[in-house]
Amino acid sequence: MKINSNFLNVKESYLFSTVNKKINEYKETHKDCNIIRLGIGDVTLPLPKVCVEAMEKATKEMGVKETFKGYGDEQGYGFLTQAVSNYYAKKGIVLDKKEIFISDGAKSDLGNILDIFSIENTVLIPDPVYPVYVDTNIMAGRKINFINGNYENNFLPLPDENTVGDIIYLCSPNNPTGSVYNKEQLKIWVDFAIKNNSLILFDAAYEAFITDKNLPTSIYEIEGAKKCAIEFCSLSKTAGFTGTRCGYTVVPNDLEYDGVKLNKLWLRRQTTKFNGVAYIVQRGAEAVFTNRGYQETRKNIAYYLENAKIIGETLRKLGIWYVGGENSPYIWLKCPKDMKSWEFFDYLLDKANIVGTPGAGFGENGEGYFRLTAFGSRENVIEAMKRLEKLDLFK
Ligand code: PLP
């Protein structure tokens, strides 16, 4: 019996464990400190009431013989795929219900989708980025090429004549940088994918944070994308579903490689290895797409975006270069005085009792950068920014 030794090639992630270790050590010697965490990647506001009510109703249905539900369709209940399809229709994107697959979140599908692709494909991943893309491909033993996000391109890399990749990951709005591709930039990627017979895996987990009407919230706003892209969405950050678990993946019927429709392959994969998302959760998710759901979720998102704005304003005042902070809950800043990511982490913890996330944890190009998030409370954000402004470093 042999293990999949590719797993041994996955780097241990020490990022958040090191962050926590450093905080605990600091607290040991500074008992009265009031540490503000601006590194949180999880939502903090509770579920919208409309979702809670829908799930309460669904829970009651499960306790009554006439309305009880056993196994549902693996790809999701029709009421939810229809609601998602209607959501896309409002963006001017026509999707058949069968092109939408309900999942227990974007992370699972981002990993599982690799089942349907040959190991021989070369993968192209931006650096820095959400680490799941890298690790899932290493586990499968695929070769990875990186494309550089950096100061020069505002952390929005674009392909050039040397770019190679059969499977291309794009994340917009991006985690960790908060930067968002515009339509012209996405069109360059779509054209590249079509020309090279590549496939784009488009992670739109933060699409709901886009308030600028000119920015695309879906790759299907770009002509040709249905022929070369799968889109992953999540209700985690949109509606506070990080602990409730629901997302959806769009696999257009037009996607065809090696003469095979990817939609058919993915359906086969899902019906074999997945048994669907809980009925109760899907009813909660359906509520997100109602008018009331829209109002309630946007209220929470507006709260986070205001936090991001406050952080951005302070950074601008202090002359710190950053991207994100608009149309995204993430702010990606250049560490002042050319500090390294962990050096700035230690400095902020010690001098201001503020915790963020060192950019170096998201890829080589993250060194010298730092991620702040807008998921904290307003009071904490305001207090943290006051502390930042007082630092000797900026005097
Ligand atoms: N994609 C990105 C870019 C993320 O940052 C996250 C979570 O932080 C996910 C996907 C995972 O989302 P989900 O909770 O739906 O699995």
For the residues of 239-275, what is the DSSP string, one character each? HS-TTT--EEEE--TT-EETTEEHHHHHHHHHHHH--
Task: Using the atom order of ligand 1, give the atom closest to the CA of residue 246.
Answer: 15
| Dihedral (CA of 243, 244, 250, 251) sign | positive
Q: Are 262 and 116 within 8 A, CB to CB? A: yes
Q: Are 287 and 53 within 8 A, CB to CB? A: yes
Q: What are the φ and ψ backbone dihedral angles of 122, each rounded to 5 degrees?
A: -90, 140
180, 237, 248, 288, best to mutate for ligand 1 pocket (most atoms within 8 Å of CB): 237
The 8-class DSSP code of residue 319 comes to: T
361 C-alpha vs ligand 1 centroid, how far in Å? 16
Sheet holding 330-334, edge to edge: 322-324, 330-334, 369-373, 357-358
CA distances from 374 to 295, 318, 391 (A): 20, 18, 21
pLDDT tens digits for the chain (395 residues)?
999 999 999 988 778 889 999 999 999 999 999 999 999 889 999 999 999 999 999 999 999 999 999 999 999 999 999 999 999 999 999 999 999 999 999 999 999 999 999 999 999 999 999 999 999 999 999 999 999 999 999 999 999 999 999 999 999 999 999 999 999 999 999 999 999 999 999 999 999 999 999 999 999 999 999 999 999 999 999 999 999 999 999 999 999 999 999 999 999 999 999 999 999 999 999 999 999 999 999 999 999 999 999 999 999 999 999 999 999 999 999 999 999 999 999 999 999 999 999 999 999 999 999 999 999 999 999 999 999 999 988 87
Q: Whose CA is nearest to atom 8 of ligand 1?
A: 41
Helix axes 291-317, 279-288, angle to 10 degrees: 70
Structure tokens at 233: 């969405």
Q: How far apart are CA 214 and CA 293, in angstroms?
A: 23
Q: How far apart are CA 258 and CA 120, in angstroms?
A: 13
Q: Whose CA is nearest to atom 12 of ligand 1?
A: 106
Q: How far apart are CA 147 and CA 127, in angstroms?
A: 6
Question: For residue 253, which of 242, 235, 266, 269 has the smallest C-alpha distance?
Answer: 266
150 C-alpha vs ligand 1 centroid, how far in Å? 22
327 C-alpha vs ligand 1 centroid, how far in Å? 16
Residue type, 377: S
Q: How far apart are CA 316 and CA 237, in angstroms?
A: 26
106 C-alpha vs ligand 1 centroid, how far in Å? 6
Kindly list the protein residues whose Cβ atom lies closer than 6 A to any atom of ligand 1: 41, 105-107, 130, 171, 175, 203, 205, 234, 236, 242, 247
Residue type, 231: E
113, 175, 231, best to mutate for ligand 1 pocket (most atoms within 8 Å of CB): 175
Give the 3-state secondary structure of residue 235: coil
